[in-house]
Amino acid sequence: MVIGITLGLQSEHESVWVNGIKLNAIFLAKCLKKIGKHEVIILDTSDKVKDLTKVNWDPIEFPVKRYWDVWKDVDILITLGTSFPKENMDQFKASGKNKRVIKYMCGNNYVIDMERAIFTEGKDMVATWDLGADEVWYVPQQGYQNHYYYKTIFRCNAIPVPFVWDPMFLDLDYKVRQNLSKNLPNYIPRPAEEKRISVFEPNLNTVKYSMIPIMIAEESYRAGAKFDNIQIASGEKLLKNGYYKTMIKQLDIVSEAKPPKIKFTPRYPVCHYLAEATDIVISHQWENPLNYAYLDVLYYNFPLIHNADMIQDAGYYYPDFNIEVGSNLLNWVLRHHDENLEEYNRKNQEIIKRYTVENDKLVETYDKLIKNLYKKNRKLDWKYDWKTNISE
């Protein structure tokens, strides 16, 4: 069968690090290709890029075609990076009796919709619930808030699917840096007082916001911990908020440290920070307990202090909003992490394989999901196991 995954390309050679959608589409395509039975293509729905070979991935391995040129040849349409009105869904399904449509959800739509409805940013926006899908597939970290929300909105079954990640773009970036003689994202042990902390939360909404990691560093500093600084990626925009600035100014890492220990920077790819300015990463999320950034950090063997319970067996895990436990972990990492590098790296490298196509059961699960689409009595109740990254 021909499987098409939608994206809306915005410009030639657009960075894959702009957001997680492009990465998600390519990683999913790699997994579906691994099944070995299907032709998998990326479908551009924007028509903004005239030469579709000018993308930042291998267009031979992951070919890109214009949706309106090939949609009739596609058997399974996975709407991932763009949405369609119902009439387009109906048009697609009417073009053949075996056509299927999957709505693949990657973000925390309940929270995003809630914020758009409550705050003024959404006052001129239109809700587009592209109805007509046969099933909703969602990345498992969105299940707690969105499973039933998706079923109600899209009027079909919603299934948690295995989370798919791959180091392919990290490896490419590493080779480019080598060729340009740039700093490489290799973890290098150094004294605690020289260690630099980074926080990668995008600060776009309440789901992934940097305040808890800042508080963890603040608690450690108050207890006498020594570190060089803490950098808040995607943080410059926060300083435009007067209330936020009055909060930050009351922290010892700002008011007592000379110079202040905290820095706010623009958004850069994770690999940039790991190569240029990071020794420890602290993360916090609210009901979004899987993220590419966690796996990127672990792949490069950096210490990750996090509260993501779906990967609690990797890195250094603290529960929920527990700043005290997070601070204790930071203190331990500052003093002792470099004594345990080999075991830390071995454990994490094994764990992150469960999110890649090296995990045969992950690929088998997607094969089963596709076959399930065509069964007369479809299986509807799929359960996700975070320990294996498998839905059954």
Write down the pLDDT at residue 234: 93
pTM above 0.75, yes or no: yes
- Give, as one character, the DSSP assignment of residue 302: -
Are 315 and 304 spatial neighbours (Cβ–Cβ below 8 Å)?
Answer: yes
Rounded distance between C-alpha atoms, residue 131 and residue 136, angstroms:
10
Residues 6 or more apart in contact with residue 304 via CB below 8 angstroms: 281, 283, 294, 297, 298, 314, 315, 316
Residue 121 pLDDT class (50, 70, 90 cuts): confident
Instruction: Respond yes or no on whether the N-terminal peptide bond of residue 189 is cis (omega within 30° of 0).
Output: no
Percent of the chain at pLDDT above 70? 100
pLDDT tens readout for residues 351-366: 999 999 999 999 999 9
Residue 20 pLDDT class (50, 70, 90 cuts): confident
Average pLDDT, the chain: 94
Residue 18 pLDDT class (50, 70, 90 cuts): confident
> Cα torsion at 183, 186, 192, 193 (round to 10°)?
10
- Give, as one character, the DSSP assignment of residue 228: S
Averaged over 142-164, what is the pLDDT? 96
Residue 360 neighbours by CB distance under 10 Å: 9
pLDDT tens readout for residues 33-57: 999 999 999 999 998 888 999 998 9
Write down the pLDDT at residue 47: 84
Averaged over 264-281, what is the pLDDT? 93
Averaged over 183-210, what is the pLDDT? 96
pLDDT tens readout for residues 311-335: 999 999 999 999 999 999 999 999 9
Rounded distance between C-alpha atoms, residue 357 and residue 30, angstroms:
8
Write down the pLDDT at residue 128: 73
Rounded distance between C-alpha atoms, residue 308 and residue 289, angstroms:
4
- What domains, with CATH codes, occur in the chain? 2-166+357-391 (3.40.50), 168-353 (3.40.50.2000)
